Amino acid sequence: MHPAGPRQQQPAKKYEEYAYVLDIQVRGRARTVRGKEGTVIQSLGEDYLTFLELLGVDGVLYTIGERLYIGKEPRDKVASVLGRLSYGELTPTAKSVLPEIVEKIVESKEQRFVEFFNNSQPLNPRMHALELIPGIGKAILKKILDERDRVPFTSYKDIEQRVGLKEVQKQIAKRILEELEGGTQTYLFVKRP
């Protein structure tokens, strides 16, 4: 009999708690679960930026852009989370409202993205993670690194004022959209498809 080695702790699964409605099909047919029909909702998760297909509760009204609770506790507007979707599986409506929803998430999660500016590291000897955000070249990167070493950033406005980068929120949202659409090699904010 061999002595048992130390048990490897499995990393905790990460689930979305909230998702934003991108499109609603009242008499829809699910793409992720065969044969499932009803109020089918395409959504974007708030924390991990995953496209999710949800089954709504019959008789409940939904609006595009609405934030729904989809966590483990009892849910009042979502019967079940059916599964993950890819960008290509989204409806034209979902794709058209996506930029607005991403901007809403970037606005509501300001501290998370400011921390990214404070803590991001080089990806390799020639490229820093921050350079993947539109508007950040070598000169702005140097300013960001110098300023964050002096005093960590506290807000989007703080970054804009101290570094001169315009519309930080919009630049982060642009990067997230690129990643969601699958048009990138490196993923900073979105889980690789």
> The domain spanning residue 170 has which CATH number?
1.10.150.280
Q: Are 82 and 142 members of one domain? A: no
Q: Are 76 and 42 members of one domain? A: yes
Q: Are 116 and 146 members of one domain? A: yes
Q: Are 86 and 55 members of one domain? A: yes
Q: Are 119 and 76 members of one domain? A: no
The pTM score is 0.89
What is the CB neighbour count within 10 angstroms for residue 114? 19
Residue 7 or 154, more confident: 154
Question: Is 129 domain-assigned?
Answer: yes
Q: Are 83 and 131 members of one domain? A: no
pLDDT of residue 11 exceeding 80: no
Q: Kindly give the residue spans of alpha helices, DSSP state H, lying in 72-166.
A: 92-108, 110-119, 138-150, 156-163
Provide the token pair at 144: 């960001």
In degrees rounded to 5, what are phi and psi of residue 178? -55, -45
Domain count, the chain: 2
Query: Can you give the residue range of the structural domain that contains 65?
Result: 18-91
Q: Are 87 and 116 members of one domain? A: no
pLDDT in tens, 23-42: 999 999 999 999 999 999 99
Q: How far apart are CA 10 and CA 162, in angstroms?
A: 42
User: Where residue 3 falls among pLDDT bands split at 50, 70, 90?
Assistant: very low
The whole-chain average pLDDT of the chain stands at 92
Residue 30: half-sphere exposure toward Cβ, Cα within 13 Å: 18
Nearest residue to 128 via CA among 111, 108, 148, 110: 148
CB-based contacts of 182-186 (< 8 A; 24+ apart in sequence): 182/86, 182/87, 184/132, 186/123, 186/132
Burial of residue 156, with CB atoms counted within 10 A of its CB: 0-12 exposed, 13-18 middle, 19 or more buried = buried
In degrees rounded to 5, what are phi and psi of residue 36? -85, 125
